[in-house]
Amino acid sequence: MDQTDRLDRVYEAIVHWADVILIATPIRWGNISSLYYKMVERMNCFQNQETIANKRLLKNKVAAFIIKGGQDNVQGVAGQLMTCFAEWRCRFPQFPFIAHSRGWSAEDMERNVSGVKNSRELREGAQELVARAAAMSRLMVEGQLPEHPLARGGRKAHQLDREPTFLLGDAAPLPTGCPVRPDSGFSRTRTTRRCLQIWREAY
C-alpha cells in the first residue's frame, strides 16, 4: 500500500462511519473516470471478503451516484457503478442516480462543470437523491429493513455444482465403470455425472 496516497482514510470512512456512499463521476470516452477505477481497484479487498471468505465488511450502507459528462452512455456507467456496490452488499434508494449528458459532440469540459453549477434542476435532483439515500439509511440503521441470507449460486467467483466433488475414503473401492483411475490419488476427485451415477448405484 502506498502510505502517501491517503486511501486508508477512504477505507476507514467507507467501512466504519459512512452511512451513505455518494459517488460522482464524469463520463470519459463513454465510461467512468480513471480516478474512480484507481480507487475501486484498490478496494478489491471488499470484493474478496465477499466472494472468497463469504464475510461482509460493509453493513447498513446505501450507495447513490451522480453522473455527468460531455459524452453518452449514462446507462452503461450507472450499471457498472451499481454492479460494483451491489457486490459489496450496499443498497440503493429509488432512482439511485441522477445524470446528465450533453452528448457526443460536447468535448469542452469547462462547460460541463459550469453547466452543473448553474443548473437549478440538477441541484434539486442532487439534493433529493441525497435525501432519498439518507432516508433509506435511517431505515437500515433502525433495523426496519431486515437482512436476508443470500444463496451463493450465481454470485461472482462461486463455482457451480455441475461437476460434483467427492470425498473418497482410502478403503472405498471404485465401482466398476467409474472413469477415475485408481492410481490418480483420489482422496478428493472431481467426477463426471456418469461416475456419480455409477457410484450411487454401487453404494
Tens digits of per-residue pLDDT, 37-70? 988 888 887 877 877 777 788 889 999 999 987 7
Closest listed residue to residue 89, CA positions, set 35, 52, 51, 126: 51
User: Residue 191's pLDDT band (boundaries 50, 70, 90)?
Assistant: very low
C-beta of residue 32 within 8 angstroms of C-beta of residue 77: yes
Residue 155 belongs to some domain of the structure: no
Based on the domain organization, do 107 and 41 belong to the same domain? yes
**Number of continuous H segments (helices) and E segments (strands) in the chain:** 7, 6
Residue 72 belongs to domain spanning: 7-141
Q: CA 73 → CA 31, 70, 114, distances in Å?
A: 7, 10, 21
Residue 180 belongs to some domain of the structure: yes
**Joined grid coordinates for residue 134:** 439518507
User: Residue 116's pLDDT band (boundaries 50, 70, 90)?
Assistant: confident
Residue 135 sits in a domain whose CATH number is 3.40.50.360
Based on the domain organization, do 37 and 117 belong to the same domain? yes
Answer yes or no: pTM beyond 0.85.
no
- Give me the residues paired with residue 32 across strands: 27
Residue 68 belongs to some domain of the structure: yes
- Give me the residues paired with residue 62 across strands: 20, 91
Based on the domain organization, do 103 and 11 belong to the same domain? yes
The structural domain count of the chain equals: 2
Based on the domain organization, do 34 and 85 belong to the same domain? yes
Based on the domain organization, do 192 and 125 belong to the same domain? no
Least confident stretch, 12-16, 104-108, 147-151, 194-198: 194-198
Closest listed residue to residue 90, CA positions, set 38, 35, 23, 157: 23
d(CA 201, CA 198): 5
Residue 193 belongs to some domain of the structure: yes
Residue 87 belongs to some domain of the structure: yes
Q: What is the CB neighbour count within 10 angstroms for residue 99?
A: 17
d(CA 1, CA 134): 32
Of the spans 58-72, 137-151, 152-166, which averages the highest pLDDT? 58-72
